[in-house]
Amino acid sequence: MVKGMKSISEKREALRKEQKVREIQELKLKKKRKKIENF
């Protein structure tokens, strides 16, 4: 049971990290698009 709980929490942590990375990538893309639009 303990191992199963640990793996679930680890999966949740991994998902949170992936979401944060995606959000950061999206913000970077938006900034790049704004720069292109300004030119």
Tokens encoding 31 = 């900034």
pLDDT computed for residue 13 by the predictor: 95
Question: Per-residue confidence at 34, pLDDT binned at 50, 70, 90?
Answer: confident
d(CA 5, CA 32): 41
39: pLDDT strictly greater than 70: no
Domain boundaries, given as residue ranges, for the chain: 1-39
Residues in CB range of 6: below 8 A, 6 or more apart: none
The per-residue pLDDT for range 2-33, each reduced to its tens digit, is: 666 678 889 999 999 999 999 999 999 998 88
> Which regions of 1-39 does DSSP assign to beta strands (E)?
none
Please state the pTM of the whole predicted model.
0.58
